[in-house]
Structure 1
Amino acid sequence: MARGRLRIYLGAAPGVGKTYTMLAEGQRLRSRGADVVVGFVEPHGRRPTAAMAAGLETIARRTLSHRGALFTEMDLDAVLARSPQVALVDELAHSNVPGARNAKRWQDVEELLAAGIDVVTTLNVQHLESLNDVVRQITGVAQRETLPDEVARRADQIELVDLPPEVLRRRMVHGDIYPPDRIESALTHYFRVGNLTALREIALLWLADRVEEGLQRYRAEHGIVVPWETRERILVSLSGGPEGETLIRRAARISARTPGTELLALHVVPEDGLTRDDPVVLDTQRTLVESLGGTYHQTSGEDTVDALLQFAEAENVTQIVLGASRHGRLASLLRAGVGERTIKGSGPIDVHIVTHREAAGPAAVRIPHPIRGTGPRRSWAALVGAVMLLPVLTLLLTALRGHLDLSSDLVIYLLAVVVVALVGGLLPALFAAVAAALLADYYFTAPVHSLAIERPDEITALVVFIATAALVGTAAGTAAQRTYQAVRATSEARALSRLAAATMRGQDLTALVEQIRENFGLSAISLLERDPEASPAPRWYVVASAGERPPEKPYEADVESPVDDNLTLAARGSGLSTEDQRVLAACAAELGLAHARGRIAGHSGGTDTFADAERTRASLLLAAGRDLRAPLHTAEAALVRLRHRRADAPAPEEAQLLDAARAAVHRAAQLVTDLDDVSRLHAGAFDLYLRPVDLNEVLGAALDDLGPGGHSIVLHLPEQLPDVIADAALLTRALTALGADALRHSPPDRPPVFTAEVRAGRVKIRVEDGVPVRGPELGAAASRAPGTRADSLALRLSRDLAEAMDGTLETTTEGPAFSAMLTLPSSAPGGSATSGRVE
Structure 2
Amino acid sequence: MSRGKLRIYLGAAPGVGKTVAMLEEGRRRRSRGTDVVVGLVEDHGRAHTRDAVGDLQVIPRSGVSHRGMRLDELDVPAVLERRPEVVLVDELAHTNAPGSTREKRWQDVLELLEAGIDVITTVNVQHLESLNDVVATITGVPQRETVPDAVVRAADAVDLVDMSPQALRRRMAHGHIYPAERIDAALGNWFRVGNLTGLRELALLWLADQVEEGLERYRAEHGITGTWAARERIVVALTGGPEGAMLLRRGARIAGRVAGRSLIAVHVVRSDGTESASSDPAQLESQRLLAEKLGGSLQLVVGDDIAATVLTFARSVNGTQIVVGASTHGRFTRLVRPSTMHAIVRGSGDIDVHVVTHPGDRGRRHVLRPAPSERRAAIVWPAAVVVPAVLAAVLLPWRDGLNLSSVLLVFLLGVLANGLIGGAVPAAVSALIAGVLANLLYTPPVGSLTIAQPQNIFALVVFVIVGATVATIVDRSTGRARAAAKGRAEAQLVAALAGDVLEADDGVRAVVDRARVGFGMSRVVLRRRGGEVELESGRPGPETADGDTDLVLPAGPDHELVLHGRPLPVADRALAEVFAAQAALALDRRDLAVQAGETERLRQADAVRTAVLAALSHDLRTPLATIKAAVAGLRADGVTLSAEDRSELLWSTAEAADQLDALLTNLLDLSRLQTGVLAPVFRPVSVDEVVHGALRGVPPAAVADDIPDDLPLLDTDSGLLERVLGNIVANAVRYSPPGRPVRLDAARIDGEGGDVVQIRVIDKGPGVPEKDRPAMFAPFQRLGDVPAGTGLGLGLAVARGLAQAVGATIEVEDTPGGGLTVLVEVPVAS
* TM-score normalized with structure 2 length: 0.50
* TM-score normalized with structure 1 length: 0.49
Structure label with greater radius of gyration: 1
